[in-house]
Structure 1
Amino acid sequence: MLAVVVFVPSAPLLVPELAGPAAFDTEPVRAAVDDVVGDGRAAGADRWILVGASDDPATGVVQESGSGGFGRFGVDVRVRLHDGTGPRMSLSALIGAWLRERGGLDPMEPLIVGRDTAPGDCATLGAGLGQGLRDCADRVGLLVVGDGSYALTPKSPGGERRESAVALNDAIVAAVGDADTRTLAALDPQACAAEGVAGRVAWQVAAAAVEQAGRPVVAKTRYADAPFGVGYIAATWTLDDRS
């Protein structure tokens, strides 16, 4: 059964070797990610599924290599999920694999979804995942990797602070904080693309899986900020075993 959902950002600077010793701004988000991974581990998951979005335009489930590295982000820290081969790992898969090793989230299998997948198709994928987990004897955790808007500060990757991006990011943070699966399911692909939201498809798949589980959820947000102009969220949804 589905036991817990852990939300983390897809930030390369979480990896200390990439951030460097002078990058003090990374410490709070890295600590929060370590905390939510610990919270997820405490939920007693027997295995993990990594839910993330592809880097390149695609729809549906995307097959990627089972191992790779962060070389394109400055330092080739190597990570591994499985023995499979394919195109290079997306950033969400790299972060998930790094957290698997760092946080002891093992075994872990990937579910990488094309970043252009429509909300209805994300819902179908998530519902199928949730139904499968309802019939599963194992306790399963979802590690959901994705970022919010990228135009939240004057020097953000989106070029400037946009109030439309801030409003959208605030709505996403509130939805994750309230375990509001309906708001996440209703995120508009065009608005998310315009504001640089990279986590939409992963959040929509996870939301549908939790809806399918049909059990009460306790939500806890440990971090929601934009230290580099991008919305980062570290949170957990723990599902009630008694229902």
Structure 2
Amino acid sequence: MLVAAAVCPCPPLLVPEVAAGAAPELDAARAACADALGVLSAARPDRLVVVGPAEDGGHGPYPEGTPGTFRGFGVDVAVRLGRGKPDNTAMDPAAVDRSVTDAPSAPGRALPSSLAVAAWLLEHTGWTDAPVEGLGVEPLDAARCIRLGREIAEPDERVALLVMGDASACRSLKAPGYLDERAAGFDAEAARALGSADIRTLKSLDIALAQELKASGRAPWQVLAGAGEDTDLRGSLLYDEAPYGVGYLVATWS
């Protein structure tokens, strides 16, 4: 049963060492993420599942204790998902959609960048409230994302979700995807849906448009929509800005 969810952006720039001199520009986003994790803590979950985009082949489950690094972004910063030692017992690949879990879950596999950012946020806020599992999600179709969310929330235990992903990357001329006039409208719809726990709208997000706008959060948000079915969770939007031309959203469901 899903008892709470937090939605956070996943740019490595959230890590101050990566952002370097630009770090203060995302202080408000970091603070909103910390507040969102506080909502998860208050829900007293039995298990925290972190879901994030993994378009670079890093899809599949990541057990508690899996390491990650930001060396690829020019800084020697290492993180670990939760506090456990790496093992293969946390999330049984047979329990979730096979299309998401074809990748091996061996301890030697490092976290994809979205889950590494999540691990940094959890360490930064001192998360000790529940065991942590990670799941890297490819840009699957909506039906499979929703089914995956249902499976995550199905066990008879209190599950919280930390959902990582960015909105469009086309909000300005200097954005990674250049300026696209459709981006602001897409982001506004996503922000409203995430901020009001509007499952129907999240399920119907335009996949092709999301891909064109480089919105990495679309698939994880639809996983959240599946997990949130048959709950009475209410949403709250904590942050909605587009620094560097990329939409960053922070929301909570509780």
User: Is the 1:47–1:140 contact (alpha carbons within 8 Å) kept by the matching residues of 2?
Assistant: yes
Aligned to 1:191: 209
CA shift, 1:76, in A, is: 2.2
Is 1:146 matched up with 2:165? yes
CA shift, 1:88, in A, is: 3.4
CA shift, 1:63, in A, is: 4.2
Letter in 1 for 2:122: R
Which of 197, 212, 222 is residue 179 of structure 1 equivalent to? 197
User: Is the 1:219–1:236 contact (alpha carbons within 8 Å) kept by the matching residues of 2?
Assistant: yes
Gap change, CA 1:63 and 1:35, over 3 Å in 2:
closer
CA shift, 1:114, in A, is: 1.5
CA shift, 1:47, in A, is: 2.8
TM-score (norm 2): 0.84
Question: Post-superposition, which runs of at least 4 consecutive aligned residues in structure 1 deviate over 3 A?
Answer: none
Once the two structures are superposed, residues 70-129 of structure 1 have per-residue CA deviations (whole angstroms, 9 ceiling, x without a partner) of 1111212101125152543211110121122122334210122112x1111111111112
3-state DSSP class of the match of 1:223? Answer: strand
CA shift, 1:21, in A, is: 4.3
Paired with 2:198 and 2:243, the residues of 1 have a C-alpha distance of: 25
Q: Could you list the runs of 5+ residues in structure 2 that have no partner in the other structure?
A: 88-106
User: Is the 1:100–1:108 contact (alpha carbons within 8 Å) kept by the matching residues of 2?
Assistant: no
Letter in 2 for 1:27: D
Aligned to 1:27: 27
The residue correspondences of 1:5-84 to structure 2 (distance < 5 A) are 5-56=5-56, 62-63=60-61, 66-81=66-81, 82-84=85-87
CA shift, 1:57, in A, is: 5.5
User: Is the 2:50–2:133 contact (alpha carbons within 8 Å) kept by the matching residues of 1?
Assistant: yes
Gap change, CA 1:163 and 1:104, over 3 Å in 2:
same
Aligned to 2:96: none
Q: Could you list the runs of 5+ residues in structure 1 that have no partner in the other structure?
A: 239-243
Paired with 2:200 and 2:108, the residues of 1 have a C-alpha distance of: 34
Is 1:88 matched up with 2:86? no
Gap change, CA 1:47 and 1:105, over 3 Å in 2:
farther
Once the two structures are superposed, residues 197-220 of structure 1 have per-residue CA deviations (whole angstroms, 9 ceiling, x without a partner) of 001111111110111xx1212211
Q: Percent identity?
A: 39
Paired with 1:210 and 1:194, the residues of 2 have a C-alpha distance of: 26
Paired with 1:153 and 1:44, the residues of 2 have a C-alpha distance of: 40
**What CA RMSD, in Å, does the superposition of the two structures yield over aligned residues?**
1.8
Paired with 2:68 and 2:228, the residues of 1 have a C-alpha distance of: 30
3-state DSSP class of the match of 1:155? Answer: coil
Paired with 2:147 and 2:46, the residues of 1 have a C-alpha distance of: 25
Letter in 2 for 1:62: G
CA shift, 1:49, in A, is: 0.6
User: Is the 2:3–2:233 contact (alpha carbons within 8 Å) kept by the matching residues of 1?
Assistant: no
Once the two structures are superposed, residues 170-207 of structure 1 have per-residue CA deviations (whole angstroms, 9 ceiling, x without a partner) of 11111111111111111222111100100111111111
